[in-house]
Amino acid sequence: MASYNLLLLPGDGIGPEVMAEVERVIRWLDANSGVHFETETDLVGGSAYDVHGVAITDETMKTAMAADAVIFGAVGGPKWDAVPYEVRPEAGLLRLRKDLELFANLRPAICYPALADASSLKREVVEGLDILILRELTGGVYFGEPKEIVTLENGEKRAVDTQVYTTHEIERIARVAFELARARRNKVTSMEKRNVMRSGVLWNQVVTAVHKAEYPDVQLEHMLADAGGMQLVRWPKQFDVIVTDNLFGDMLSDVAAMLTGSLGMLPSASLGAPDPATGKRKALYEPVHGSAPDIAGKGIANPIAMIASLGMALRYSFDMGEAADLVDGAIADVLASGTRTADLAAKGQNSVSTREMGEAIVKAMAKRAG
Ligand code: NAD
Ligand code: IPM
Ligand code: MN
């Protein structure tokens, strides 16, 4: 029987609350899918800082390197607002992305039929929406050097972040975009700001060159990222795959989340390059949302983004397409039955707890599996 090692990193705030529900799904799959999942749980973010003084230890990094996949909750919160920048909770996540070389971040935004009225946008704008934001995850202004605050001679301070992209970094993310588009509706929209940024000029040139040389069959369009943000809320169904840099991808995917009804709906997969010998990729799966300090501890967070992230792990790391469809189908069934966590419920509508939503999804999986 196939067996996989999962490293679970619940993190902070609602992270552990939504992770408990993904564990429920893992236990069900372990018992029913014919595949064994071995799990190990460790600290990351503020909870790691409180114990170890860093947001992730070298030991945990080693376990992450060796795992078949990392399942990540969320990190951060006001408790750690004053800790030094280098050891902030978010640094744990950034180290995982950088050291595991998870350069390709897939953020699908799907509007489930039952949620077409939960979005802040009109039903006709979001109904049937199925787009994929592909965010470059290990380059750009997140990691470019210098990155510092220096004190000038006159006592003033100067803060610097540096946006850097190389040809290689843009080529590899462009290839992932075109490959993904071929398996979808065959269209890629590349977003940058070539009108003001040198990195945008190079991004545009490299994506164009990769397209011409290797993927001329895919439809490619270029959009300035600010206009892209506007188009995302004007008529999002014009898009199929959007490929963009680390920072624009961060912002545009939070915008896209609201097209689906709630930030609590958006899963993500962060993938490395396939190992030339084994074909296996390093991978981390996490919801797009954060630790939601405003609702943490109340047991009302929506676990769907977390559970759908596990669904992506089944699809992209374990070649378990049917099990992934089962998870996605169960989520659709539960939403269709009217079950809603508070973030999705209409005014006056009853809502369920995080746990009740997790239980309902596992029940729906069992029902579908017969
Ligand atoms: P957030 O995503 O945590 O919350 C934004 C809003 O969305 C809040 O009102 C929250 O209640 C709501 N929300 C988010 N997830 C939800 C869910 N599953 N169910 C119901 N409602 C949900 O963003 P923020 O408040 O800007 O950031 C809080 C902290 O989280 C910060 O420290 C930030 O750095 C961190 N963060 C971490 C990650 C991550 O770990 N991947 C991602 C984003 C933000
Ligand atoms: C995300 C988050 C992270 C990011 C933070 C927590 C480092 O906002 O995954 O979207 O900015 O990439
Ligand atoms: Mn973000």
Q: What is the pLDDT of residues 82-120, one digit of tens each?
A: 999 999 999 999 999 999 999 999 999 999 999 999 899
Burial (Cβ within 10 Å: 0-12, 13-18, ≥19) of residue 365? buried
- Catalytic annotation present for 161: no
Q: Is 250 in the pocket of ligand 2 (CB under 6 A)?
A: yes
Catalytic, 165? Answer no
Q: From the CA of 264, how far away is ligand 1's center (Å)? A: 9
Catalytic residue check, 333: no
Instruction: Give the tens place of pLDDT for each residue, 194-227.
Output: 999 999 999 999 999 999 999 999 999 999 999 9
The average pLDDT across 333-352 equals: 95
Residues 6+ apart with CB under 8 A from 65: 99, 100, 282
Q: Confidence band (pLDDT; 50, 70, 90) for 298?
A: very high
Q: Which of helix, strand or coil describes residue 58?
A: helix
Give the pLDDT confidence score for residue 139 in this predicted structure: 98
pLDDT in tens, 229-268: 999 999 999 999 999 999 999 999 999 999 999 999 999 9
For the chain, give the percent of residues with pLDDT over 70.
100
Given the candidates 2.40.50.140, 3.40.718.10, 3.90.920.10, 2.60.40.10, the CATH classification of the domain at 107-265 is 3.40.718.10
Ligand nearest to the CA of 251: 3
Output the residue whose Cα is nearest ligand 1's atom 18: 264
C-alpha–C-alpha distance, residues 171 and 211, integer Å: 10
pLDDT for res 103: 98
| Cα(266)–Cα(291) distance, integer angstroms | 14
Residue pLDDT, tens place only, 123-146: 999 999 999 999 999 999 999 999
Contact 35, 318 (CB under 8 A): yes
**Helix/strand/coil for 296:** coil
Per the annotation, does 146 bind a ligand? no
Domain boundaries defined on the chain: 1-103+272-370, 107-265
CATH topology of domain 1-103+272-370: Isopropylmalate Dehydrogenase (3.40.718)
Ligand 1, atom 25: nearest CA belongs to which residue?
292
Rounded to whole angstroms, the Cα distance separating 169 from 187 reads 21
Percent pLDDT > 90 in the chain is 98
Of ligand 2's atoms, which has the minimum distance to the CA of residue 254? 10
Report the pLDDT value the prediction gives residue 1, as an integer from 0 to 100: 87
Pairing of strands 144-151, 187-192: unpaired
pLDDT band with cut points at 50, 70 and 90 for residue 65: very high
* Closest-lying ligand 1 atom to the alpha carbon of residue 289: 2
Note whether ipTM > 0.90 here.
yes
Which residues have C-beta within 8 Å of that of residue 203, sequence separation ≥ 6? 165, 170, 190, 192, 194, 245
Domain 1-103+272-370 shares a fold with domain 107-265: yes
Residue of 8, 284, 291, 295 with the most ligand 1 atoms within 8 Å of its CB, for mutation = 291
Query: To 5 degrees, how large is the angle CA 230–CA 234–CA 235?
Result: 120
289 Cα–ligand 1 center, Å: 5
User: Closest Cα to atom 5, ligand 2: which residue?
Assistant: 90
Distance, in Å, from the CA atom of 7 to the CA atom of 72, rounded to the nearest integer, reads 8
Cα of 153 to ligand 2 centre, how many Å? Answer: 34
Judge if the beta carbon of residue 76 lies within 6 A of ligand 1: yes
> Given this model, what pLDDT does residue 106 score?
98
What's the mean pLDDT when you consider all of the chain?
Answer: 97
Residue 254 catalytic? yes
Q: Is the CB of 9 under 6 A from ligand 1?
A: no
User: CA 233, 353, 74, 141: dihedral to nearest 10 degrees?
Assistant: 10
Q: Has 77 been labeled as part of a binding site?
A: yes
Q: Is there a catalytic annotation at residue 117?
A: no
Residues whose CB falls within 8 Å of the CB of residue 297, separated by 6 or more in sequence, listed in order: none
pLDDT of res. 347: 87
What is the structure's pLDDT at 216? 98
Whether 337 shows a pLDDT value over 90: the answer reads yes
